[in-house]
Structure 1
């Protein structure tokens, strides 16, 4: 049954779509229905229609820090990857949630605005960055976020402040999945364009020299345990190079698992479990995943 006919343009709807085409890690089963809205009105229509017909609803951004299981996703999946407008208003940047956070940092550079340099190498969307309170090199989203426009699962539009987002280390109010992030407003400061550019150049070099960007991956897999570094623990367990199926613990950075040979989601999940068990047995430290797992 085509629930969205005459509600959403047909070219924005895909049926039985392989989700490996929509994640950085290049794996995942089929989405029953995948919709790429580009306006708030279209997102609202999808949410309300799904609710009306009791269809499961899943939100997917750029798929950068996400593992989608091999069984795929039932019901309706909204991909916000085309929801990517960015505008500058004085010292604020307002971005739709599907825009790359890297592109927002570059727009800040264009306008000589400082505060988002840390995000110049973070893969994924603005929505994902808020969801995770993404951070790198001493900066994090909570430092610069002012507000966000969100949609509730009932289809109600709200604006919430940075304080109301309850942002902490890799956590936010958005992890309860009660809100769909539509856009975000970042409060920045006027700065020196050359200095901003130099800082971004340094951070980009640091990322490229330390991270395994030559392979598909879901980024940093584990949160930083209190008093430890996940990558160091994994390295000290001599797990680098360990492979299950097509998934391998990166030789370049032990905190990353890379897709070296057509890995399945189950390969990834099995390798994650093996790493967690090994670190627990050797160091009595529990590694908590940072990556989000969706589907069945």
Structure 2
């Protein structure tokens, strides 16, 4: 199924069970559906059309009917009555094209690209296909590991926070968000980006949450795949393999034989892997609660 057939099928499905849809909202719903299925939004200019209404009147003219209001207002789009047999053919289970989904990326790879902490260095080992990361000046062992064999490592540059915010703004433009809903969502977009801000934004979207997750996953996957191609890395090595029974292990500097980290050392290691914000919001409250519960007043 080519792009035009896909768009035609989606539009027919969107308006077939209603008395019609305003053009602007129909385009928003169309683009949200396309993005959720891993496709780009509609660009009418590719079909020689200046506006969405021109596209509906042209390439989709045999399927839809347009009704312009007497005064000002948006055009209403309805399905032509004789399209029913075509609709059944277009939306039948046998004729639906399989949608390409982004490959499931390894969690360590995903975090290396999405963690917004700019003080954290991240590297990919070309030999072992594993990821290491460290804060400069804090974890000297990891730093020495990279410096000892620089040809074995490629640096991973995290996705800039401006890119995350741009994707959030793009989604709000594509989704059918009411003015009342837009105010708090736009406030989150304009705030300092963090994983907590993304979580709040995702939750605030309500029933649009899944579409946003799918769009964000697609955007991040495209970034990572482009990076892999640039550095001649097989994208399959960055993905979760079907036969894998456990999550990939983050590479660690070799521990001297016979040496086992104590619980305190293990805790310090875990703290080193967290950003200052994560420590402030997660680790400190848990530790403080544990200490207070053992105190006697």
TM-score, normalised to structure 1, is: 0.24
Q: Structure 2 length as normaliser, TM-score? A: 0.24
Larger Rg: 2
Structure (1 or 2) with the greater helix fraction = 2
